[in-house]
């Protein structure tokens, strides 16, 4: 009996996964058992974190949508403040067609409810306008559209897209929030728990997973210094390409507040990295506009170059 009790007490410790930590520019990173073993046979933890920090492929993947033909399933819902009742919506199927360096869009079918459009046919909601700016094409557009944004509204859209689709990097020209998203900055690292784990992602890809999660013990003063609540990125072990990312952002002041969650799954078309599925859930409250709460799902298929 005494031997049995001793084994029972020891068994959790024996079966617990081996944990380890590593350092990167003052950042403490927790490693799971698989990563610890990989490190022993040559996995470069610092090199991996450097890749995460310097990555531009994720943001570029969204811009790559302007270089290929594709079919899109678009589902946008504007809801009440509690997120339960839909007050306006759009569901559509669209096809982007490429002609050399130029693109145009065909609306295969579309159904809207509520006041999704204004009487003049414009978008009645900021989320819809941003979605259209990202994934819809009006008329014929040539090039990838990466020129400098003109006007304050266009600059604001560009900055918002960087905030949403390039999380973790500082955003110039954005007061208050712009510097609070740079999670690799030494002043912000201390607010997060970092880890590298090994997981199987959707579709069966064996991945290294980098996670940055806001510390649970932060007080209200420290909490006001950060915008990214969670940033999780999945890297295919064989190619080290991003296959998925999920993240949440939030911030609150007396003047404005927002809370956004996104999940993005990637795919490849030839040598181009492209988003295959995007889900978004968010609420925004900015000066001179009503609070807007929305969800959207975008699915992209049938890529052609």
Instruction: Using the Cα atoms of residue 206, residue 181, residue 129 and residue 173 in order, give the sign of their dihedral.
Output: negative
How sure is the predictor about 180, in pLDDT bands with cuts at 50, 70 and 90?
Answer: confident
Q: How confident is the model at residue 181 (pLDDT cuts 50, 70, 90)?
A: confident
Please say if the pLDDT value at position 117 is more than 70.
yes
Three-class DSSP category at 141 = strand
> In whole angstroms, what is the distance from residue 233 CA to residue 246 CA?
7
pLDDT value for 145: 60
Average pLDDT, the chain: 84
State the pLDDT at residue 148. Answer: 53
CA nearest neighbour of 302 among 144, 76, 97: 97
pLDDT at 8 over 50: no
* 39-48, 146-155, 208-217: segment of lowest average pLDDT: 146-155
Pairing of strands 192-200, 27-31: parallel
| Range 104-118 burial, b when 16+ CB lie within 10 A, else e | ebeeeeeeeeeebee
Give residue 222's pLDDT band: very low, low, confident or very high (50, 70, 90): confident
pLDDT at 17 over 70: no
pLDDT at 26: 80
The torsion angles phi and psi of 131, rounded to 5 degrees, stand at -60, -50
pLDDT tens, residue by residue, 22-78: 777 888 889 999 999 998 888 888 889 888 888 888 888 988 999 999 999 999 999
Tell whether the model's pLDDT for residue 178 goes beyond 70. no
- 1, 83, 23, 66: which is closest to 283 by C-alpha? 83
User: For residue 153, is pLDDT > 70?
Assistant: no
Give mean pLDDT, residues 83-94: 93
Tens digits of residue pLDDT in 242-292: 999 999 988 887 777 889 999 999 999 999 999 999 999 999 887 777 889
Would you say the C-alpha torsion 12, 32, 215, 292 has a positive or negative sign? negative
Reading the block at residue 18, the tokens are: 């081996």
- Percentage of the chain beyond pLDDT 90 is 49
What local confidence, expressed as pLDDT, does residue 157 receive? 66
CA distances from 210 to 86, 202, 235, 242, 281 (A): 35, 16, 8, 11, 22
Highest mean pLDDT among 15-24, 149-158, 169-178, 243-252: 243-252
Q: How far is CA 189 from CA 169, 213, 216, 223, in A?
A: 13, 10, 14, 13
């Amino acid at each position: 009996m005494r031997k049995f009790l001793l084994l029972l007490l020891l068994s959790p410790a024996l079966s617990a996964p081996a944990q380890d930590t590593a350092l990167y520019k003052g950042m403490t990173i927790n490693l799971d058992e698989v990563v610890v073993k990989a490190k022993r046979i040559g996995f470069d933890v610092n090199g991996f974190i450097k890749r995460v920090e310097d990555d531009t492929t994720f943001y570029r993947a969204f811009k790559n949508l302007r270089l290929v033909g594709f079919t899109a399933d678009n589902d946008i819902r504007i809801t009440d403040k509690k997120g339960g009742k839909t007050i306006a919506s759009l569901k559509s199927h669209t096809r982007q067609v490429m002609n050399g360096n130029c693109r145009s869009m065909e609306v295969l079918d579309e159904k809207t409810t509520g006041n999704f459009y204004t009487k003049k046919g414009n978008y009645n909601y900021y989320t819809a306008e941003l979605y259209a700016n990202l994934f819809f094409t009006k008329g014929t557009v040539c090039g990838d559209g990466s020129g400098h944004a003109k006007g304050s509204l266009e600059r604001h859209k560009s900055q918002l897209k960087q905030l949403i689709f390039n999380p973790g990097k500082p955003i110039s020209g954005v007061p208050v929030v712009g510097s609070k998203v740079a999670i690799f900055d030494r002043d912000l690292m201390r607010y997060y728990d970092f880890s590298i784990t090994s997981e199987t992602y959707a579709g069966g890809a064996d991945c290294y997973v980098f996670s940055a999660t806001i510390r649970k013990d932060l007080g209200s003063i420290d909490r006001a210094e950060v915008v990214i609540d969670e940033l999780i990125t999945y890297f295919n072990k064989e190619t080290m390409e991003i296959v998925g990312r999920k993240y949440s952002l939030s911030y609150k002041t007396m003047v404005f507040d927002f809370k956004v969650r996104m999940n993005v799954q990637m795919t490849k078309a030839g040598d181009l990295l492209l988003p295959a599925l995007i889900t978004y859930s968010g609420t925004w409250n900015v000066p001179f506009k009503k609070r807007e709460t929305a969800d959207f799902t975008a699915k992209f298929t049938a890529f052609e170059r």
